[in-house]
Amino acid sequence: MKPDVTFIEITNHCNFDCSFCPNHVLKRQKGFLDIAIARKFLSQLKKAGWDDVLVDLAVLGEPFMNKSVFDYLDLCKEYGLRVYLVTNGALIKPQIAKKIFKKYSKDDIEIEISFQTPTETTYQRRYNKQHTFFEYWQQIKDVICAKYKYKSDIRIILPITTYDFMLSVDDSVVCEKELDSLKLFENEETQKRWFYDYLNEMETFAQELIRKNCFKWRKIAKNTEEPWQHAEEFGVCMHTGKQNAYEVLTQNSSDKIIYYRLMPGIFTYFKKFGLWTRKVDYLERLLKEDKDIFVYTEPRHGEEKCDLVGNIGILSDGTIVPCCLDYEGEVSLGNIEDTDITSEQFQEKLEKFAENVLICETCRQCRSKVFILDTVSTDDERQEITAYGNNWNSVEVEEDGKKFRWTKESSDVYIYAKRDWKSIDLDMKVHPFLNGAMAFLTIEQYDIVANTFTMRKKQDLKLNVINNNRVTSVSCMLEKGSFYKICINTPIFEGGSDLRKLGLMVYGIYAH
Ligand code: SF4
């Protein structure tokens, strides 16, 4: 399995403490990778003929925290492997910048400065006590200046991540309330305004650099009305002009990234970063400014393949991990010191693992559903249950606009009880195929400390079309302040031309 990218964590120490990074909840020991181990890994990539694989010098950690970072860059160059250097940029002081831009070319490295938090307020979430936002921004500009000063052709990417993106990558985050921790901008309009201010600021900066003869804008822009559109000259395949840059860039998806060229060899884009992990301790820290919420990550179950297995990495102690998300090394495919990742034996092991990744806790949580539930108590007469978990078909809308979803065998929903409730009400419809069949409902209470559910109620349900579209009530005490899983177990049928497995049509579930 040839990887697209490989990860070599040359250290897991970091000078920042960003809320979106799991480094602060890391259980693994902090350390620095032995250069001999890196050599072993790179020589294996070379031996396999994987010359076009990109090498990222991090899983967690800031590469420039490792004082020997240039030894690793030299090593990659020696093996002819190109480095994608992801860094926060704060440690690229003038002497380091000089060394980078004088010694290497665009064939050796590409730099991504993770300018994720683009405003003074959002920068606070990086918990960097050494630099103010202004100093940090100035530092990034100094790196850009150094690139031109040393006439380097190395490309620099400045991605912006808005936290909105972290929750909008897919519909796997179900959130009952607006979160303050994740709000970078008041609304879409402020975000757009900020973006164009940022482009204008960079234009002014570019003009300043032109005056200092850093680059000749006109020459690059010849024969064009829109000088910003020449990204392809610099190796970035998709690019956009200024006029509709905001619309284009905010539509970026991970498989097709469109960049905006700020100036020659300097690009920006909105990075769809996603949640790094869905582990509750990480999420709780990320969301720590938000009160009155309860966070639950529903593990995936069953069997599932993964395409990302094979984007192999090594952690700072040499542990081989299947992808960068296994930052704790929980999956561990061995240690590079005594493993040849190109051997038939290892490749077979990897393929077998890729066939069903859900045997591992890390993979069960990866891309799993996260529920962020509102816990403020209520005087209402009923509480709608909105946290739909495993085994539901997607929402459908009837002609009259009424929404429903089909169950699939055992379908789970979750509730954080906002007051004591006496029953669960199920607004549902029975398809004639299931007339007379039996279903049952279970209600389990969650124990946060043990991370387990305990059965509180099991109730049989006789399915009957005559009683269609009515509310079925199951009596059960739900305690205020407790979290519950409700599972609706139904027989299923296959609906003619509809190839899906279908059970009940559920219009709504309520605690009463
Ligand atoms: S399923 Fe496992 S191997 Fe695949 S991306 Fe997620 S953590 Fe990595």
Q: Could you tell me if the CB of 350 is within 6 A of ligand 1?
A: no
Tell me the best of 6, 277, 309 to mutate to test the pocket of ligand 1, counting ligand atoms within 8 Å of each CB and taking the most: 309
Residue pair 286/183 in contact (Cβ under 8 Å)? The answer is no
Q: How confident is the model at residue 255 (pLDDT cuts 50, 70, 90)?
A: low
C-alpha to C-alpha distance for 492 and 433, rounded to whole angstroms:
9
* 414 alpha-carbon distance from chain centroid: 23
Residue pair 90/84 in contact (Cβ under 8 Å)? The answer is no
Encoding tokens for residue 497?
């031309």
pLDDT of amino acid 220: 43
In 212-300, which residue ranges form alpha helices assigned H by DSSP?
Answer: 217-220, 245-250, 280-286
**What is the 8-class DSSP label of residue 30?**
P
Query: Separation of 392 CA from ligand 1 center, angstroms?
Result: 23
pLDDT value at 229 more than 60: no
Tell me the best of 59, 362, 364 to mutate to test the pocket of ligand 1, counting ligand atoms within 8 Å of each CB and taking the most: 362
In 237-360, which residue ranges form alpha helices assigned H by DSSP?
Answer: 245-250, 280-286, 344-355
Alpha carbon nearest to ligand 1 atom 7, residue: 363
Question: Of all atoms in ligand 1, which is nearest to the CA of residue 358?
Answer: 1
Alpha carbon nearest to ligand 1 atom 2, residue: 363
Q: How confident is the model at residue 214 (pLDDT cuts 50, 70, 90)?
A: confident
- Per the prediction, the chain carries an average pLDDT of 87
Question: Of all atoms in ligand 1, which is nearest to the CA of residue 363?
Answer: 2
* 190 alpha-carbon distance from chain centroid: 24
* Locus of tokens 């234009």: 203
Alpha carbon nearest to ligand 1 atom 8, residue: 323
Rg of the chain over CA atoms, in angstroms? 26
Average pLDDT on 330-357 reads 92
Q: Write the pLDDT tens digit of every residue in 67-92.
A: 999 999 999 999 999 999 999 999 99
State pTM to two decimals.
0.86
**Strands 313-314 vs 320-321: parallel, antiparallel or unpaired:** antiparallel
Question: Of all atoms in ligand 1, which is nearest to the CA of residue 309?
Answer: 3
DSSP string, 390-419: SSBPPPEE-TTS-EEEEB-SEEEEEEE-SS
Q: Write the pLDDT tens digit of every residue in 286-329.
A: 888 888 999 999 999 888 899 888 789 999 999 999 998 899 99
Q: Write the pLDDT tens digit of every residue in 392-426.
A: 998 999 888 899 999 998 999 999 999 999 999 99
Query: Separation of 321 CA from ligand 1 center, angstroms?
Result: 10
Average pLDDT on 232-239 reads 45
C-alpha to C-alpha distance for 86 and 130, rounded to whole angstroms:
20
Tell me the best of 170, 297, 326 to mutate to test the pocket of ligand 1, counting ligand atoms within 8 Å of each CB and taking the most: 326
Q: Could you tell me if the CB of 308 is within 6 A of ligand 1?
A: yes
C-alpha to C-alpha distance for 139 and 277, rounded to whole angstroms:
29
In 3D, which of 155, 160, 231, 216 has the Cα closest to residue 192? 160
Q: Could you tell me if the CB of 328 is within 6 A of ligand 1?
A: no
C-alpha to C-alpha distance for 396 and 364, rounded to whole angstroms:
28
Question: Of all atoms in ligand 1, which is nearest to the CA of residue 307?
Answer: 4
pLDDT of amino acid 235: 40
Query: Separation of 226 CA from ligand 1 center, angstroms?
Result: 42
Q: Could you tell me if the CB of 325 is within 6 A of ligand 1?
A: yes
Question: Of all atoms in ligand 1, which is nearest to the CA of residue 366?
Answer: 6
Tell me the best of 325, 352, 356 to mutate to test the pocket of ligand 1, counting ligand atoms within 8 Å of each CB and taking the most: 325
* Locus of tokens 């164009």: 196
Q: What are phi and psi of 327, to 5 degrees?
A: -70, -15
Question: Of all atoms in ligand 1, which is nearest to the CA of residue 353?
Answer: 3
DSSP β-bridge partners for residue 85: 111
Q: What angle do CA 413, 418, 419 make, to 5 degrees?
A: 115
In 3D, which of 142, 156, 110, 128 has the Cα closest to residue 65? 128
Query: Separation of 359 CA from ligand 1 center, angstroms?
Result: 11
Q: What angle do CA 119, 232, 97 make, to 5 degrees?
A: 55
C-alpha to C-alpha distance for 157 and 416, rounded to whole angstroms:
42
Question: Cβ neighbours of residue 460 under 8 Å, at least 6 residues apart?
Answer: 438, 439, 440
Total Cβ atoms within 10 A of residue 178? 9
**What is the 8-class DSSP label of residue 499?**
-
Alpha carbon nearest to ligand 1 atom 3, residue: 309
Q: Could you tell me if the CB of 357 is within 6 A of ligand 1?
A: yes
Question: Of all atoms in ligand 1, which is nearest to the CA of residue 367?
Answer: 6
Query: Separation of 357 CA from ligand 1 center, angstroms?
Result: 7
